[in-house]
């Protein structure tokens, strides 16, 4: 469903809700408020992406992928502010299957724009992990520093610390093998 249709439906719900309050139907009016809010939320947050995020949080990757695959052409179905988030969700799913393939999605998500700092930090942390898997320490350190800077609320502090520890172990192993 296009955003124009969603806006029209939400506007009609708003008009109907106001009319319900006008005629004194307070109970139905309150229900109308919730339906109107839900309608306007789907303009800015696509319902398939919301469902995919729900299943990602529950660690159910096949269902999350199923919902994201229903978005056939994201440039037509989503608003531009969601392009980066769509690519990040695809990258998170792809990182479970083929981590090296996920790199392009995380980079594209950062290029298209993520508006929340913790999402930027998550994308950069994921890129650091991919760079570490490629044995590219310099790039991994760069992404890890950027992730730490973007993680202002310290939501990913444990993961960043764990990644740094793994990099330190990698250094010790390289020293041991070079002898």
pLDDT at site 52: 92
Euclidean distance between CA atoms 34 and 69, whole angstroms: 28
Average pLDDT value for residue range 118-146: 90
What pLDDT, in 10s, does the model give residues 82-116? 899 999 999 999 988 888 889 999 999 999 988 88
- What distance, in Å, lies between the first and last C-alpha atoms of the chain? 63
CATH class for domain 46-178? mainly alpha
- Domains of the chain, by residue range, sit at 1-44, 46-178
Q: At a CB cut-off of 8 Å and minimum separation 6, what does 162 contact?
A: none
Is the distance from CB of 100 to CB of 85 less than 8 angstroms? no
CA dihedral 137, 139, 92, 160 (to 10 degrees): 60
3-state secondary structure of 39: helix
Euclidean distance between CA atoms 119 and 91, whole angstroms: 12
Write down the residue that tokens 């990182």 correspond to: 95
Neighbours of 74 (CB within 10 A): 18
Q: pTM for the complete prediction?
A: 0.77
pLDDT category, 79, cuts 50, 70, 90?
A: confident
Is the distance from CB of 153 to CB of 118 less than 8 angstroms? yes
């Amino acid at each position: 469903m296009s955003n124009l249709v969603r806006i029209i439906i939400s506007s009609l719900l708003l008009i109907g809700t106001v009319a319900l309050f006008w005629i004194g139907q307070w109970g139905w009016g309150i229900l109308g408020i919730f339906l109107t809010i839900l309608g306007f939320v789907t303009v800015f947050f696509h319902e398939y992406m919301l469902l995919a995020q729900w299943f990602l949080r529950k660690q159910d990757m096949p269902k999350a992928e199923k919902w994201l695959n229903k978005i056939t052409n994201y440039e037509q179905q989503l608003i531009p502010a969601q392009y980066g988030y769509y690519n990040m969700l695809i990258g998170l799913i792809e990182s479970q299957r083929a981590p090296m393939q996920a790199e392009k999605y995380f980079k594209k998500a950062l290029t298209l724009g993520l508006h929340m700092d913790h999402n930027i930090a998550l994308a950069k942390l994921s890129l650091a992990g991919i760079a570490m898997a490629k044995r590219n320490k310099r790039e991994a350190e760069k992404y890890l520093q950027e992730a730490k800077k973007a993680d202002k609320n310290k939501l990913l502090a444990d993961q960043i610390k764990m990644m740094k520890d793994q990099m330190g172990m990698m250094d010790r192993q390289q020293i041991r093998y070079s002898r």
